[in-house]
Amino acid sequence: MVTQRGASAKIINEALDFLNERELEAKPLTWKNQLLLVTNRNPASTDVDRLKDIGVIERLVHPTQKAQLASREFQRENSVINTENVSIGSQKLVIIAGPCSVESRQQLLEVARAVKRLGASMLRGGAFKPRTSPYEFQGLGETALSLLAEARDETDLPVITEVLEPGKVDLVAKYADMLQVGARNMQNFPLLRAVGRSKKPVLLKRGMMATIDELLQAAEYILLEGNPNVVLCERGIRTFEKATRNTLDLAAVPVLRKQTHLPILVDPSHATGSRDLVAPMTKAAVSAGADGVMIEVHPNPENALSDSHQQLDLNEFARLMEELEPVAEAVGRRLR
């Protein structure tokens, strides 16, 4: 329920008592300057009339979907998420570029300077890596976070990095402009709640075995903590197809667009797993209506400590940015 602007605390408390008496759990939540009372089920219509009479409710949102706050029904216009000098979900495409993992100061600064020059709007780089094998490179941790902050200070590119566990959210949020919840953690509910409490913008990646509906419900966990700054990311799902690392579900972009007001990005690097497929799928993602892409770029991909097959080198990234420009224009978007 969206409460009336200016409804007094006394009236809100009365409404909460009224709902509790009817065994409705109601959670007060501030959403973009409006107070919501989020209930676990719909109140009876006579009760709604009563709440309207006492001047509490402005609008009742029926939870026809499990992801209510994320739904188009709840908010008709697209959300634009701002982080530092970047708006995600506007006409200008957001290109997030950078290495899979932060490996050294030199590596990170070289990529950061290059992708900035070539028109990227944000820098990515893994500090805590969710590796399939415990023997693989796990990331430089806090050292990587401070290198990301240094790269941001030099280039003015806001930085995004993954947080793997609830206990590290505050640490990562101290350095990063945007928090990433990786595919493997899409349904780590304590982590979703923790990034929700942090109020930093969050990039939520679709789990490799998750449906679109489950992605939206995972986003709802973050929104319900009072953090409206959620961006969704399609990064491929696991199917029987082995020619690509994952199967990029591009239809997810227009499907999500219909169902949610949240911005939608695509990660063609993890979706395909091969550098030669990144450019065509980036163009396809933009054509499908994505608000931007996240692309892995490394100065020397062959020697990368993680995901060496899919990272673009600096020349490949430069070529992709050139080729993307007319595609962006064709769908009414800007790249720069």
Which residues would be at the binding site for ligand PEP (CB under 6 A)? 100, 126, 130, 162, 182-184, 205, 235, 267, 270
Nearer to ligand PEP, 182 or 301 (CB): 182
- The minimum distance between CB 218 and ligand PEP, in angstroms, equals 13
Burial 172-193 (b: 16+ CB within 10 A, else e): bbebbbbbbbbbbbbbbeebbb
> Residue with CB nearest ligand PEP?
182
Nearest to 61 by CA among 51, 53, 71: 71
Tokens of 15: 């409404």
- Which of the listed partners (ligand PEP, Mn ion, none) does 191 bind, with a CB threshold of 5 to 8 Å by partner kind? none
Residues 6+ apart with CB under 8 A from 61: 1, 2, 68, 73, 74
- The minimum distance between CB 273 and ligand PEP, in angstroms, equals 10
3-class DSSP state of 68: coil
Helix (H) or strand (E) holding 191: helix 189-198
Nearer to Mn ion, 50 or 131 (CB): 131
307 binds Mn ion (CB under 5 A): yes
Among 35, 56, 100, 233, binds Mn ion (CB under 5 A): 100
- The minimum distance between CB 270 and Mn ion, in angstroms, equals 6
Nearer to ligand PEP, 184 or 193 (CB): 184
d(CA 261, CA 175): 28
| DSSP, res 274 | S
- Which of the listed partners (ligand PEP, Mn ion, none) does 103 bind, with a CB threshold of 5 to 8 Å by partner kind? none
- The minimum distance between CB 100 and ligand PEP, in angstroms, equals 6
Nearer to ligand PEP, 237 or 286 (CB): 237
> Residue with CB nearest Mn ion?
100
d(CA 108, CA 114): 10
- The minimum distance between CB 253 and ligand PEP, in angstroms, equals 16
Q: Which residue has the tokens 């990660």?
A: 267
- Which of the listed partners (ligand PEP, Mn ion, none) does 182 bind, with a CB threshold of 5 to 8 Å by partner kind? ligand PEP
The torsion of the CA quartet 39, 42, 45, 51, rounded to 10 degrees, works out to 10
Q: How far is CA 13 from the centre of its chain?
A: 34
Nearer to ligand PEP, 127 or 314 (CB): 127
Which residues are near Mn ion by CB under 5 A? 100, 307
